[in-house]
Amino acid sequence: MRKFYEAIVDHKKTVIVFFTIAMIISALCSTMVNVNYDINDYLPDGTASTVALDKMNEEYDMSIPNARVMVSNLTVAEALKMKEKLSEIDGVDDVTWLDDAIDTDIPLETADKDTVENYYKDNNALYTVTIDESKRIETVHAIRDLIGEENSMSGAAVNTAVAAEATTKEVKNIIFLVIPICLAVLFLTSGSWIEPILLLGSIGIAILLNKGSNLMFGTISFVTNAAGGVLQLAVSMDYSIFLLHRFQEMREEGQAPKEAMINALCKSTGSILSSGLTTVIGFAALILMRFKIGPDMGLAMAKAIFISLVTVFVLFPVILLYCYPLIDKTAHKSLLPDFEKFGRFVTKLMVPAVLVFVLFIIPCNLGQKENFFSYGSSQIFSTDTQIGSDTKKIEDIFGKSNNLVLMVPKGDLQKESQLSKDLHNMPEVSSILSYVDNAGAEVPMDYVDNDTLSKLISDNYSRLVLTVDADFEGEKTFALIEEIRALAKTYYGDEYLLAGESASTYDLMDTITKDNDRVNLIAIGAVFLVLLLSMKSLSIPVILVLAIETAIWINLSVPYFTNDFVFYIAYLIISSVQLGATVDYAILLTSRYMEVRETASRKDTVVETLRSTTVSIMTSASILTIAGILLWKVSTHGVLSQLGHLLARGTALSTVIVLFVIPGMLYIGDKLVQKTTVGSKFYNEKEDSLYKKKKYEDWELN
């Protein structure tokens, strides 16, 4: 490696030119990366609901109704005119209202009350709208312009459109906020006024390179797009900090800048690569998920960390060599106190801290598995947002409702009619739009107009559009999906198809819950293996992985003990992210402990280790925590907001455990660590004392 680093510092201009060209290309490419905001698009290809959606798109010109629009203070005549206006909007494929279920020319008082009140109640008209997914944003805007702010709309298409626009704005706001806050943290913890700008600038280049290289994927998920840059900044900042501190140490020993940089690179390569590799593994574990947001984020973030490492080892040394005179000129006294007192304080608490830590392991591990989870997109917006408020208004008047489409082989209208009757007998099914319900099994298809017929009958299938009085997800909804599928199977075997947001969410739940244990075990096993090889120890990987995993369990058990729900996507992602990101702190502290322990006693080693590593750990942890808080507070998207919340709390918990518990675990297990670590040479106070005593006696005899 030394020859490689010598080549880097000898060709500084070449490095600068290469990265400048790469930045320009990446800036252009980043504008061409598409972002997908639809969670259901990331279901595995073979799931039942995905197959159903694909088949429906082949057979029919329209998809599932995906929006509800409520307009108040309308007469029946006005409601019919509003339906026409909605139908004329570009991007609206279909609008269903009361006139599709009954003859609105007759007095409504004579019609079935339940049917009427599904669409028209207290002068409020509720339309079921099918929006073209390729035109969601512009269509939702057009509907809003038509109905005005005082009226309401909700549904999957509206959720996705709002999420797309809001997240784009919020990501920019987060970046504008995180940069000055990160600078403030770095100014506080660095020894020069220019260092924070250099650190932030180098990682900013890495983020730009990663964003541009995402073009290789064509499209990335909204989670990756929103959280990727913030996570890359927060997670990989410490690599640059480690190298900078090593460079300063070498220069303080009197080495020339060029030689100091080469030596700093050689000495820090092991710890930086170990930290980087564990982080890459944490993200790469997501690639093994069947739920495609996992591979989407895993690939992009593993690449991001790799690019950050390349930037740290190639570009950042060159920047430091060009700018070290400026660093010297802008040097200032430390703004933080010496952490020796903090180290001595920890030695008084570390053993009790380990005992408390042990008490938390089992209940938190059990608690985090029993959370109430949300799997789909139905709860991503709170009632504090306009769409959340609109959804509540609609549900307060018309109740909860969503649509499912059951497709069965066409041809046997009598069988379809009996199936429809059985479906109507389900209390949750409020209405069915189908050929046998609206035209009647006894009416020949030749007598039905083609426009109506094409919505219900295709070349191979008959379509039953079910409106169900149920949440989009939850135990009752999932039980209903199972009941509908079981009923359809009794009539058609495996030839039926069921599509809809609830069906997709059911399959999403079924898919990602199976992903969890496998992904976590692989991530833990891989990180353990990296630590085993890099630390050459059997006990240290156990200590570090147990410490960080327990921090994850505590973090994820909080919603269980506070009776809050958790988005399962956030739950899955944070498990890998927190492990990969914060195990770096444990590696840094333990590496320094092993180094100092060669020349100092156990207690003195703990004090010196905390004195020399606390600033680095706190700097990185503060940035990661702040990034999480900003994502939590700024984002209106529930998944992103909760991911930020879990990231902030998880980082804080990991940091507390690294600074207070791991020192105690190393202190208590000192002999075990020495015996199970290859090449360890711990300082022995008794041997040293006997050696000094013997040396003194020999001196007296002479």
Q: pLDDT digits over 637-694, tens only?
A: 888 888 889 999 999 999 999 999 999 999 999 999 999 999 888 887 665 554 444 4
* CA 311 remoteness from chain centre: 24
Q: Which stretch of 321-330, 428-437, 504-513 has the lowest confidence by average pLDDT?
A: 504-513
Span 116-130, pLDDT tens digits? 888 899 999 999 899
What is the C-alpha to C-alpha distance for residues 661 and 40, in angstroms, rounded to an integer? 41
What is the C-alpha to C-alpha distance for residues 618 and 630, in angstroms, rounded to an integer? 18
Which is more confidently placed, 487 or 680? 487
Question: Is the pLDDT confidence value at 696 over 60?
Answer: no
Average of per-residue pLDDT values in the chain: 86
Secondary structure of 5-57 as H, E, C letters:
HHHHHHCHHHHHHHHHHHHHHHHHHHCCCEEECCHHHHCCCCCHHHHHHHHHH
Q: Do domains 2-36+161-377+507-675 and 67-154 have the same CATH topology?
A: no
Where are the strands (E) in 507-636, listed by range? 565-567
The H-or-E segment that residue 258 falls in is helix 257-284
The H-or-E segment that residue 582 falls in is helix 568-596
Residue in the structure block whose two tokens are 């038509």: 146
What is the C-alpha to C-alpha distance for residues 328 and 324, in angstroms, rounded to an integer? 6
Q: Which of 92, 575, 42 has the alpha carbon at shortest distance from 286?
A: 575
What is the C-alpha to C-alpha distance for residues 47 and 64, in angstroms, rounded to an integer? 17
Decide if 534 contacts 281 (C-beta within 8 A): no
Q: How confident is the model at residue 442 (pLDDT cuts 50, 70, 90)?
A: low
Question: Is the pLDDT confidence value at 22 over 70?
Answer: yes
Q: How confident is the model at residue 700 (pLDDT cuts 50, 70, 90)?
A: very low
Which is more confidently placed, 517 or 403? 403
Domain boundaries in the chain?
2-36+161-377+507-675, 67-154
**Bridge partners, 405 (sequence order):** 465, 499
Instruction: Tell me the backbone φ, ψ of residue 375, rounded to 5 degrees.
Output: -105, -30
Please tell me the predicted confidence (pLDDT) of residue 548: 93
Q: What is 67-154's CATH topology?
A: Alpha-Beta Plaits (3.30.70)
Q: Which stretch of 508-512, 539-543, 555-559 has the lowest confidence by average pLDDT?
A: 508-512
Q: How confident is the model at residue 702 (pLDDT cuts 50, 70, 90)?
A: very low
Q: Which stretch of 55-69, 80-94, 130-144, 192-206 has the lowest confidence by average pLDDT?
A: 55-69
Which is more confidently placed, 455 or 689? 455
pTM summary value: 0.79
Q: What percent of the chain has pLDDT over 90?
A: 39
Question: Is the pLDDT confidence value at 695 over 50?
Answer: no
Gyration radius of the chain's alpha carbons: 31
Please tell me the predicted confidence (pLDDT) of residue 691: 42
Structure tokens at 142: 């057009």
2-36+161-377+507-675 architecture in CATH?
A: Up-down Bundle (1.20)
Decide if 101 contacts 431 (C-beta within 8 A): yes
Q: Which stretch of 70-84, 247-261, 516-530, 534-548 has the lowest confidence by average pLDDT?
A: 516-530
Structure tokens at 575: 């498990």
Please tell me the predicted confidence (pLDDT) of residue 699: 46
Q: How confident is the model at residue 43 (pLDDT cuts 50, 70, 90)?
A: confident
